[in-house]
Amino acid sequence: QVQLQESGPGLVKPSETLSLTCTVSGASISTYYWSWIRQAPGKGLESIGYVHYSGSTNYNPSLKSRVTISLESQNQFSLRLTSVTAADTAVYYCATLIGPYDKFDYWGQGTLVTVSS
Amino acid sequence: DIQMTQSPSSLSASVGDRVTITCRASQSIGNYLNWYQQKPGKAPKLLIYAASSLQSGVPSRFSGSGSGTDFTLTISSLQPEDFATYYCQQGYSTQGFGPGTKVDIK
């Protein structure tokens, strides 16, 4: 059973960098694409991007200039979002991304990140 | 960018009702369309992938259809645990989501 767990600060100051880690169990990091999705309070889902074990990445064009998704170890990957504003306040989910239909199959429980001074 | 729309944005229904939700893509995406269910405070759950394939473990009252730009999710007989928000997601380019359809109790 694949399980994912997000971790990181729940509060980030405006203009600073949001950093989250997703810890994976039950699957090899080489098996899937590894992605981040966010959901602002009361809003819909927004795909942020993904990383593959080969090192390739793909980002949402609206966030591309501020986002980095990286593999950190055999069972962790990370999200960095720079220059955050209140608009980046959201629940952040990590998830597996499986082709060819790019379905998000397994999800973490999500972690709320608030951007506020 | 491919834009996804859903209709209706919300609906009220009763247990046992047949419910249909529509998703439209701004350009043809073949059958690269997935559906999710999300309950308050929970992560989304994959229901349907490739427009019409039922994810393992998902009840057969859920079904999907469509191709190209127009897709539907149907719940054949609404159950109490089905009251939730439903999202479509295209897997053709940059995995964009629709805005969601909230299904609540009539």
List, for residues B35-87, the tens digit of each pLDDT value. Answer: 999 999 999 999 999 999 999 999 999 999 999 999 999 999 999 999 999 99
Q: What is the pLDDT of residues A40-80, one digit of tens each?
A: 999 999 999 999 999 899 999 999 999 999 999 999 999 99
Averaged pLDDT score across all residues of chain B: 97
Decide if pLDDT at B93 tops 90: no
The SS3 assignment for B82 reads helix
Cβ-Cβ contacts under 8 Å, B87 against chain A: 44-45
What pLDDT is recorded for position B31?
97
Decide if pLDDT at A30 tops 90: no
What are the two backbone dihedrals, phi and then psi, of residue B58, each rounded to the nearest 5 degrees? -85, 135
Task: Assign 3-state DSSP to chain A and report helix, strand, coil percentages, each to 5.
Answer: 5, 55, 40
The interface residues of chain A toward chain B in range 49-68, judged by CB-CB distance below 8 A, are: 50, 58, 60-61
Through-space distance between the first and last CA atoms of chain B, rounded to whole angstroms? 36
What pLDDT is recorded for position A78?
97
Longest distance between any two alpha carbons in chain B, whole Å: 38
Which of B5, B32, B2, B21 lies closest to B84, judged by CA? B21
The interface residues of chain B toward chain A in range 36-95, judged by CB-CB distance below 8 A, are: 36, 38, 42-46, 49-50, 55, 87, 89, 91-92, 94-95
Tally Cβ neighbours within 10 Å of residue B8: 12
Decide if pLDDT at B95 tops 90: no
Distance of CA B95 to the CA centre of its chain: 14
Which of B35, B31, B69 lies closest to B50, judged by CA? B31
Cα(B29)–Cα(B70) distance, integer angstroms: 9
Cα(A97)–Cα(A94) distance, integer angstroms: 10
A41 touching B (Cβ < 8 Å): no
Q: Are the beta carbons of A103 and B1 separated by less than 8 Å? A: no
Percentage with pLDDT > 90 across chain A:
91
A69, B21, B32, B33, B69 from B24: Cα distances, Å: 30, 10, 12, 10, 5
Cβ-Cβ contacts under 8 Å, A58 against chain B: 94
Cβ-Cβ contacts under 8 Å, A93 against chain B: 43-44
Burial of B57 (0-12, 13-18, 19+ CB in 10 A): exposed
Q: What is the mean pLDDT of residues A31-39?
A: 95
Contact assessment for residue B85 and residue B99, using Cβ atoms and an 8 Å cutoff: no
